[in-house]
């Protein structure tokens, strides 16, 4: 199957979706912005008040005269603190709420993507969007958004305040802007690709370590220690080198900003000198201007550094919107029939490489059919087509109703065991859960878990064996209770002892259902009503186990090779 | 723990010292900027003195050049020390984990160990940067203190006492908030964990039509998470607001004291401006101290985790004897008891293909760990060509005896790399040639992280091919075909003897197809060998065997 990554939205589309998400919170957005403007403006009264102190002293006023501006400074500080708290809380509320709606829409949409599309993209694509991209945006909303709001407003309003002192101060301060503008552009251009490489290198190092440490036993058994140590060293060195390149870049960035700082500061001081000399400004005003400019250093640096975060958050957002924007696939429209009727079925994952040819198969209501054949014979494809995961390229499949499927994919949903089971039937009672577990012979171990059915399992929780995990999968199928069950090598991940436990559990799971079981252990095939043998995408034999075993065909020789017992000897199972 | 921290720092002492010295110069430069603003106002602007203005602007330029370059090269040295120390620790950890005597993974999940090798190593390395920054900040405070006290002793004391007090108050007020905020952050992170988990289980969900239930569940989680995040955000906003208010009040106090001093003529106007600037500046280095403290605490915790892994006891003792040369490949177990095994006696002749069928899978696992020497038996001995395994160097032993586990891992890379080069015979015998045919890119196709892009059956066949290709004198394979279809399994069984001709092979399995090709099969039941004969004979004469293998 060729790779085809999930789409990424255009910038325009990303903006549109973002605005759409913000629309219900317009009042909040406007309110937050207004309060931040007020908070920042109040803070800007500090420098003129300090200037007033200087002027009062310069005018030779008595020491008591400065009490008034000092008290004003205290009032400014307290009001600024209060309004800043409110403003930041509002801005965060907006950001976090929109983020929550965004991730909910993403997960809602991702869950309904056709499995085929997800698999074509590779399982990592969707996972990395929901983990990496969502947390990147979350971090930006949590840290960068309030910082940006504060710094951005501080810069704009400080420049405005400089202009109010005298427009010539603003002009002097703007000398720094071309240097900063150029520096920021250069930084973003260079940093973006470098940080992307850093993330790749970090991921590669992490993955190599997981490979080496997770497979340590294998590494030792095959004496691959030197090879693996060298691989880790190489990846770690690459990551270190790239980090150092990033550090150098940031440091050069700051060096250039220092140039801008000096140029602007000198210009403002010279402007102050000229204006004080010509009587256009007081010393206090010149002091306030210099202090204003000095206080710009921190927010300018913050804002410029955040450009990078904002850019990566934007890219992450485009990847989320790309999925959100996927059209809802048309429902799989399959004819209803009292039994499974497959006729003229053909399929190919890649054009020109058919894996199924003209398959006809009927499975009676309540019949249990085993699919047997070599890998690549088309068993899994047939099973998946019947389960409705793929659309057949040719032919028709009629089914009696919903089809449930359990494959060899082992996954336990993180959280209490009972919650995991309830995914299959949200309104199931505890008694229902126990009954389902009993039927797959899992209640005994489930009840001996530290907190019984309330035990947290899955990632970060209590570890279950591959057999136990598959028992849970079967219990979920029982709870979902579909009329048709498809089981694709559901015993494959368990060892040979587990396989036997699972075979028994499968038998009780499919009771009362029409079932198609892809089997690789032939005892499992022997226990079904009918065995269908596939080869090269075609059905080559079909009949009950005993009939096929004595017919001298493919299945018979397969059985002989598998059991290691001559066909004419007594069947050891009897 | 101390040793790990100390090694991390002393190993990079040149960079740390360079960083600290240059960092101190930078801080001194930063102190000079507000001072010089005051001087320019005082001597240039106030007096209308153009040459003085020009002179002091040049001085300001020189200060900028010095502070800029010292920061650049100082920070570079500090970061380099941090990164290099992290790398060194990472490699030490990997070497410990891969030590032939094992034991480091005991009780630790691979994810947790990987985290120690990445995050913990990084944090301990970062202590170098903290040392450098702490030293620079200290220098900044000292320079600022000297300047302030030279301007005016009372004003200097107000600023020097006030700044730490301000930070302490801020810390005191924000501490409960911080705690609350951290708890909330954890809960907030939960939502993204749940989403990833649901996506990972997408196939399972679709298999039972549980998408709607999953989405509904996620909405609840996301809502809870949002509520928690909002509480945290409010706490953070309040913290920021408090710091802003406190800083403003502090500036007002400095202005009051300084203004009065200036009004009485004790200090000049420029000195007043400088003092206000320095008061604002001092917040920076003092905050660095608080930050460094937190970094050190994290570094200590990380160093403790690293030290624990490095000092983990070995699973087995290293023997010193070399393996016998040439190896004949005979094995003998004498009264071996280990975990579930109770006195197993077993002889395997050189070149024999022996089947071992264990009724209880735990017996098979115990036997495998004794044969591969991942553990030594609690009593009894295992001998290779008459030499006790316990006397052998474990690394040398593994060049002779290979135990291929049932769940052996594949590694990221191509199929060829996983098998260890060109081994067409091994590939064909394991049925892995077909895997190469199905893989895009054939034998040079990538198998993905831990072989995840292959199906379970494909992974098993590649793992078996790798075990056969290693061509050890003794090969022990455990359940190599549980995920392989019956047709392919039969083919593998028919080719196995040929590819292992004249070398000892032990098949630990309950697969009848494999046991049928063994010269002899021993039945392990209740921790003991209870029967031994060819497969066909055991099938007819031993009911326990029949149930274990054919039911």
| Cα gap A484→A397, rounded to integer Å | 13
Check residue A565 and give its pLDDT. 64
Check residue B495 and give its pLDDT. 93
Establish if A103 touches chain B: CB-CB under 8 angstroms. Answer: yes
In DSSP terms, A516 is beta-bridged to A369, A486
Stretch B146-154: mean pLDDT, rounded?
Answer: 89
Model confidence band, residue B293 (pLDDT cutoffs 50, 70, 90):
confident
Of the candidates A371, A382, A398, A373, the residue with the CA atom closest to the CA atom of residue A347? A382
- Higher-pLDDT residue of B422, A116: B422
Q: Give the closest of A54, A379, A496 to B511, CB-based.
A: A496
H/E element holding A404? strand A403-406
Model confidence band, residue A574 (pLDDT cutoffs 50, 70, 90):
very low
Check residue A1 and give its pLDDT. 43
**Closest chain A C-alpha to B279 CA, distance in angstroms:** 13
Q: Does domain A7-165+318-329 have CATH number 1.20.1560.10?
A: yes
H/E element holding A348? strand A340-350
Model confidence band, residue A571 (pLDDT cutoffs 50, 70, 90):
very low
**Closest chain A C-alpha to B377 CA, distance in angstroms:** 18
Establish if A127 touches chain B: CB-CB under 8 angstroms. Answer: yes
Restricting to A residues 398-427, those with a Cβ less than 8 Å away from any Cβ of B are: 402, 404-409, 411, 413-415, 419, 422-426
Q: Map out the domains of chain A as residue ranges.
A: 7-165+318-329, 340-563
What pLDDT digit, counting tens, does each position of B482-497 carry? 888 888 888 999 999 9
Q: Is the Cβ–Cβ distance between B473 and B401 less than 8 Å?
A: yes
Using a CB-CB cut-off of 8 Å, the residues of chain A touching B411 are 211-212, 215, 218
Q: Is the Cβ–Cβ distance between A138 and A99 less than 8 Å?
A: yes
Of the candidates A97, A98, A145, A120, the residue with the CA atom closest to the CA atom of residue A3? A120
Using a CB-CB cut-off of 8 Å, the residues of chain B touching A62 are 263
Model confidence band, residue B400 (pLDDT cutoffs 50, 70, 90):
very high
Average predicted confidence (pLDDT) for chain B: 89
Whether pLDDT at B17 is above 50 = yes
Check residue A573 and give its pLDDT. 44
What pLDDT digit, counting tens, does each position of B330-377 carry? 999 999 999 899 999 999 999 999 999 999 888 998 999 999 998 899
Q: What is the CA radius of gyration of chain B?
A: 35
Stretch A38-59: mean pLDDT, rounded?
Answer: 88
Q: Using the 8-state DSSP alphabet, how is residue B391 labeled?
A: G
What pLDDT digit, counting tens, does each position of A535-546 carry? 989 999 999 999
Check residue B397 and give its pLDDT. 92
In DSSP terms, B401 is beta-bridged to B474
Model confidence band, residue B306 (pLDDT cutoffs 50, 70, 90):
very high
SS3 A178: helix
Average predicted confidence (pLDDT) for chain A: 88
| Cα gap B26→B139, rounded to integer Å | 9
Task: Copy the structure tokens of residue A568.
Answer: 């004419």
Q: Would you say the CATH fold of A340-563 matches that of A7-165+318-329?
A: no
Establish if A549 touches chain B: CB-CB under 8 angstroms. Answer: no
ipTM of the complex: 0.87
| Cα gap A113→A471, rounded to integer Å | 27
End-to-end CA distance of chain B: 55
Stretch B123-132: mean pLDDT, rounded?
Answer: 92
* Segment among B57-66, B337-346, B436-445 with least mean pLDDT: B436-445
Stretch B34-60: mean pLDDT, rounded?
Answer: 90
In the 3-class helix/strand/coil scheme, how is A122-174 assigned residue by residue? CHHHHHHHHHHHHHHHHHHHHHHHHHHHHHHHHHHHHHHHHHHHCHHHHHHHC
Q: How many CB atoms neighbour CB B165 within 10 A? A: 12
SS3 B109: coil
- Which range among A348-362, B12-26, B27-41, B177-191 has the greatest average pLDDT? B12-26
Q: Does domain A340-563 have CATH number 3.40.50.300?
A: yes
SS3 A396: strand
Query: Strand order of the sheet with strand B331-338?
Result: B341-348, B331-338, B379-384, B387-388
Does the beta-carbon distance from B550 to A277 stay under 8 Å? no
Residues in chain B: 551
Chain mean position to CA B38: 51
Check residue B271 and give its pLDDT. 87
């Amino acid at each position: 199957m060729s790779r085809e990554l999930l789409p990424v939205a255009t910038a325009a589309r990303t903006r549109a979706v973002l605005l759409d998400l913000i629309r219900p919170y317009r009042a909040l957005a406007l309110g937050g912005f207004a309060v931040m403007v007020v908070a920042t403006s109040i803070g800007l009264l500090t420098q003129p008040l300090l200037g007033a102190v200087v002027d009062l002293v310069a005018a030779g006023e008595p020491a008591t005269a400065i009490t008034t501006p000092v008290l004003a400074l205290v009032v400014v500080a307290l009001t600024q603190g209060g309004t800043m708290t409110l403003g930041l809380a509002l801005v965060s509320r907006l950001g976090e709420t929109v983020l929550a709606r965004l991730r909910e829409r993403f997960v809602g949409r991702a869950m309904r993507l056709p499995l085929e599309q997800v698999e074509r993209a590779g399982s990592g694509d969707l996972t990395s969007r929901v983990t990496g991209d969502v947390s990147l945006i979350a971090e930006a909303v949590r840290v960068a958004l309030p910082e940006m709001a504060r710094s951005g407003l501080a810069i704009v309003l400080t420049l405005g305040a400089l202009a109010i002192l005298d427009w010539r101060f603003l002009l002097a301060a703007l000398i720094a802007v071309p240097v900063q503008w150029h520096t920021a552009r250069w930084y973003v251009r260079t940093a973006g690709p470098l940080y992307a490489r850093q993330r790749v290198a970090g991921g590669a190092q992490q993955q190599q370590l997981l490979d080496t440490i997770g497979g340590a036993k294998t590494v030792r058994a095959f004496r691959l220690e030197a090879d693996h140590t060298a691989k880790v060293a190489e990846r770690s060195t690459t990551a270190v080198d790239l980090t150092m390149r990033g550090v150098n870049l940031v440091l050069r960035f700051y060096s250039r900003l220092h140039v801008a700082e000096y140029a602007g500061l000198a210009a403002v001081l010279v402007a102050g000198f000229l204006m004080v000399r010509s009587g256009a400004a007081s010393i206090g005003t010149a002091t306030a201007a210099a202090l204003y400019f000095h206080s710009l250093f921190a927010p300018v640096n913050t804002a410029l550094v955040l450009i990078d975060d904002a850019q990566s958050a934007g890219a992450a957002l485009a990847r989320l919107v790309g999925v959100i924007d996927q059209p809802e696939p048309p429902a799989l429209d399959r004819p209803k029939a009292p039994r499974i009727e497959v006729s003229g079925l053909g399929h190919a994952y890649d054009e020109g490489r058919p894996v199924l040819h003209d398959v006809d198969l009927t499975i009676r209501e309540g019949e249990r059919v085993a699919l047997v054949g070599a890998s690549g014979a088309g068993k899994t494809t047939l099973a998946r087509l019947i389960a409705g995961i793929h659309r057949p390229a040719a032919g028709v499949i009629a089914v009696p109703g919903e089809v449930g499927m359990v494959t060899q994919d082992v996954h336990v949903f993180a959280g209490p065991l009972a919650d995991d089971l309830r995914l299959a039937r949200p309104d199931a009672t505890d008694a229902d859960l126990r009954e389902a577990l009993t039927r797959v012979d899992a209640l005994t171990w489930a009840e001996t878990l530290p907190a019984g059915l309330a035990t947290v399992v899955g990632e970060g929780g209590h570890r279950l064996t591959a057999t136990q995990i598959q028992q849970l999968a079967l219990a979920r199928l029982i709870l979902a209770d579909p009329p048709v069950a498809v089981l694709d090598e559901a015993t494959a991940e368990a060892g040979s002892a587990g396989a036997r436990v699972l075979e028994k559990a499968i038998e009780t799971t499919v009771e009362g259902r029409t079932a198609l079981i892809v089997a690789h252990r032939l005892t499992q095939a022997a226990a079904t009503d009918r065995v269908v043998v596939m080869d090269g995408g075609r059905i080559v034999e079909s009949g009950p186990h005993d009939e096929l075993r004595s017919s001298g065909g493919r299945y018979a020789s397969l059985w002989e090779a598998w059991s290691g017992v001559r066909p004419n000897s007594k069947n050891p199972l009897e | 723990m101390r040793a790990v921290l100390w090694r991390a720092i002393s190993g990079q002492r040149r960079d740390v010292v360079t960083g600290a010295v240059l960092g101190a110069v930078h801080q001194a430069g930063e102190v000079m900027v507000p001072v010089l603003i005051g001087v320019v106002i005082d001597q240039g602007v106030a007096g209308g003195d153009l040459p003085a203005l020009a002179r002091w602007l040049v001085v300001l330029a020189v200060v900028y050049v010095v502070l800029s370059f010292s920061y650049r090269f100082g920070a570079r040295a500090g970061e380099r020390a941090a990164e290099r120390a992290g790398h060194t620790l990472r490699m030490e950890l990997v070497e410990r984990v891969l030590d032939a005597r094992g034991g480091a993974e005991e009780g630790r999940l691979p994810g947790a160990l990987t985290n120690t090798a990445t995050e913990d190593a990084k944090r301990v390395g970062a202590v170098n940067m903290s040392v450098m920054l702490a030293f620079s900040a200290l220098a900044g405070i000292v320079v600022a203190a000297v300047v302030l006290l030279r301007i005016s002793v009372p004003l200097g004391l107000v600023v020097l006492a006030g700044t730490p007090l301000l930070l302490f108050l801020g810390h005191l007020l924000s501490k409960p908030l911080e705690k609350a905020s951290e708890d909330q952050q954890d809960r907030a992170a939960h939502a993204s964990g749940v989403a990833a988990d649901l996506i990972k289980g997408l196939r399972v969900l679709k298999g039972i039509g549980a998408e709607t239930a999953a989405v509904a569940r996620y909405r609840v989680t996301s809502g809870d998470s949002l509520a928690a995040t909002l509480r945290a955000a409010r706490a953070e906003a309040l913290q920021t607001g408090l710091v802003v208010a406190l800083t403003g009040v502090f500036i007002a106090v400095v202005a009051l004291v300084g203004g009065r001093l200036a009004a009485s003529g004790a200090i000049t106007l420029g000195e007043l401006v400088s003092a206000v600037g320095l008061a604002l500046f001092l917040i920076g280095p003092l905050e660095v101290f608080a930050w460094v403290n937190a970094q050190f605490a994290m570094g200590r915790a990380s160093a403790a985790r690293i030290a624990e892994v490095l000092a983990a006891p070995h699973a087995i003792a290293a023997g010193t004897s070399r393996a016998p040369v040439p190896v004949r490949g005979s094995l003998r177990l004498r009264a071996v008891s280990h975990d579930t095994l109770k006195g197993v006696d077993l002889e395997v002749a050189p070149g024999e293909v022996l089947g071992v069928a264990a009724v209880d899978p735990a017996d098979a696992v115990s036997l495998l760990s004794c044969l591969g020497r991942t553990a030594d038996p609690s009593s009894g001995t295992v001998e290779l060509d008459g030499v006790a395994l316990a006397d052998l160097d474990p690394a040398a032993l593994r060049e002779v005896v290979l135990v291929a586990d049932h769940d052996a891992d594949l590694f990221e890379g191509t199929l060829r790399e996983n098998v260890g080069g060109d081994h067409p015979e091994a590939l064909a015998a394991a049925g892995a040639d077909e895997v190469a045919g199905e893989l895009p890119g054939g034998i040079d196709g990538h198998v993905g992280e831990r072989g995840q892009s292959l199906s379970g059956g494909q992974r098993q066949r590649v793992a078996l091919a790798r075990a056969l290709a290693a061509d050890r004198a003794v090969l022990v394979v455990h359940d190599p075909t549980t995920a392989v279809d019956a047709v392919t399994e039969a083919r593998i069984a028919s080719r196995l003897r040929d590819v292992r001709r004249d070398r000892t092979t032990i098949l630990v399995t309950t697969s009848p197809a494999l046991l049928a090709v063994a010269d002899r099969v021993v039945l392990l039941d209740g921790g003991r060998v209870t029967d031994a004969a060819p497969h066909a004979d055991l099938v007819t004469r031993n009911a326990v065997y029949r149930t274990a293998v054919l039911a």
